[in-house]
Amino acid sequence: MSEITTDVVSHLANLARIALTPEEIATLSGELGAILDNVAKVSEVATPDVPATSHPIPLFNVFRPDVAGETLTAAQALAGAPEHDGARFKVSAILGEEQ
């Protein structure tokens, strides 16, 4: 197991300005050590003949033509609104008068 001591975790927490309890430091030292061990295992099998991947399945974008279709009229769009003024949706103000 990689040597991630409680002193190292405490130092890193201090650099990141994160307040940790002694219990959290102890827990994180074990968890970070396990993470480093797993990274080391992956590094052992990652050879130059194995290409690096960001995703196990190839991804590609699916595009469709941008064709204008049927849209709602203003009346249809406003029909389901809780409040409207005939041409626009009415919403409650959420910001102060400074806007």
Can you give the pLDDT at residue 6? 94
Q: What is the pTM of this model?
A: 0.46
Tokens of 57: 């399945």
Name the nearest CA neighbour of 21 among 9, 5, 36, 31: 9
| Helix residue ranges, H only, the chain | 6-15, 22-45, 74-79
Q: What is the pLDDT of residues 18-58, one digit of tens each?
A: 999 999 999 999 999 999 999 888 888 877 887 777 788 88
Q: What is the pLDDT of residues 59-71, one digit of tens each?
A: 888 888 889 999 9
Which string of b and e fits 24-35 if b means at least 16 CB within 10 Å?
ebeebbeeebee
